[in-house]
Structures are given as structure tokens and as C-alpha cells.
Amino acid sequence: MTELQNVLVHKEALQQRVRELGADISRDYAGKDLVLIGILKGAAVFMADLMREISFPVGIDFMAVSSYGTAATTSGAVIIKKDIDTDIRGRHILLVEDLIDTGLTLKHLKEHFLNSGALSVRICTILNKPSRRLADVEVEYSGIEIPDEFVVGYGLDYAEQYRNLPEVWVVKTGEAD
Ligand code: 5GP
Ligand code: MG
Ligand code: MG
């Protein structure tokens, strides 16, 4: 049985941090041609909030990926299930993610976009589990660091449920008592 255990990050804390990230990004990319690329499905909620905190026009696109094997066996290679349809050559890319865990997915995507002719590629995540990192990948815009707990809400799912929760919750998984 699955149940929600407790709120880990409240709505107000998410809103505040998204505003700060938007201000940082607006300052760092002022006068530049920026494309935000959200990683589906988890980043959809964060993406919608973040883009509205950026003070100049940006391009947006989305992609969906899945990784080969498990974190223990994967090389970090990912399968692109849905690709972007934006021409990103010569443009600055900001990858927008819900949560960085091992970092393997984002490390691969960063290299993928650099090899595809992007001028620069940075990473922005709303949640970050630094204790779980396996890949050596720089996260230029890191929202809120959380402990190694399985979380849902604010775009994140458990079996495709709970993405619509406005807060981030810890899930309790295990046997019913
Ligand atoms: P990684 O950084 O390990 O390559 O991939 C991180 C991805 O795994 C996240 O973007 C998210 O989709 C998923 N993930 C990692 N930790 C959690 C978690 O606690 N809850 C949920 N719902 N997904 C997670
Ligand atoms: Mg994700
Ligand atoms: Mg998921």
C-alpha cells in the first residue's frame, strides 16, 4: 500500500525558490537567446512556474527520455522518447528538471545538446538529492536540496499519480498493516 507520509516542501517555499531561480536566470542570460527545455513529465509544473519568473522572452520546448537499465548498471545513456522540435544550434539551452538524483540523465543530455551545436547548456532543477549523485555533473541552478527520500507532488509521480499535488510529499511505501 502507498500513502503520503508528510509534506517535505510547502507550496510557499516552492514559490519563493522558483522566484529566486527566475531572477538569477533573468540576470545571467539578459540580452541572450535562451531556450528552456523541460524534461517530461515531471518538470511540467516547475517549467510552467519558472518561465513566468523570467523577465524577457524565451523559447520553450519539452522532451521525454528514459534511461537504459538501473542506476547501478547504466552508463548514463538515455533513450529519447520524445524529442524537441526547436533548432537549438547557436542558442543557449537551459535544461529544466524536477529532481536530480544520480545525475546520470542530465549528464548525458548536457553532452547530447553540446554535441548538437548548442552554444551553452546549463541545468536547472527545483529539487536536488546531492547525497545520491553518481555522475560528475554541474547543476548551475539548484532549487531545494532534499534528503534521500522518495517524494511526489509538484510534477513528480508515484505510478503516475500525485503529480498534481501543490506541495512535495514524502511517500511511505510498504505493506499495509
Ligand atoms: P537521475 O538524476 O537519477 O538520472 O534521474 C532523476 C529522475 O528520477 C528524476 O528527474 C525523477 O524523474 C526520478 N526520481 C528520482 N528521485 C525521485 C523521487 O524521489 N520521486 C520521484 N517521483 N521521482 C524521482
Ligand atoms: Mg525527471
Ligand atoms: Mg517518474
CA distance 12 to 173: 26
Q: CA 72 from chain center: how many Å?
A: 21
Q: For ligand 1, atom 17, which residue shows the shortest CA distance?
A: 150
The neighbourhood of ligand 2, an ion, using CB within 5 A, equals 39, 42, 98
Distances (CA, A) of 110 to 74, 137, 140, 177: 16, 9, 12, 44
Q: For ligand 1, atom 15, which residue shows the shortest CA distance?
A: 101
CB-ligand 1 contact for 152 (6 Å cutoff): yes
pLDDT value, residue 58? 98
Catalytic site residues? 101
CB-ligand 1 contact for 43 (6 Å cutoff): no
CA distance 160 to 154: 12
CB-ligand 1 contact for 127 (6 Å cutoff): no
Starting from the CA of residue 63, give the closest ligand.
Answer: 2
Q: How far is the CA of 39 from the centre of ligand 2 (A)?
A: 6
Beta bridge partners of 120: 92
pLDDT value, residue 78? 87
The three cell numbers of residue 155 are 510534477
Domains and CATH numbers, the chain: 10-147 (3.40.50.2020)
CA distance 52 to 33: 16
CB-ligand 1 contact for 100 (6 Å cutoff): yes
Say which residues have a Cβ less than 8 Å from residue 9's Cβ, sequence separation at least 6.
127, 144, 146, 154, 167, 168
Per-residue pLDDT of the chain (177 residues; tens, 9 = 90+): 679 999 999 999 999 999 999 999 999 999 999 999 999 999 999 999 999 999 999 999 999 999 776 655 556 678 999 999 999 999 999 999 999 999 999 999 999 999 999 999 999 999 999 999 999 999 999 999 999 999 999 999 999 999 999 999 999 876 555
pLDDT value, residue 173? 73
Provide the ipTM.
Answer: 0.95
pLDDT value, residue 55? 98
pLDDT value, residue 174? 65
CA distance 153 to 145: 15
Q: How far is the CA of 27 from the centre of ligand 2 (A)?
A: 26
Q: Select from 63, 65, 97, 101 the residue to mutate for testing ligand 1; criterion: most ligand atoms less than 8 Å from CB.
A: 101
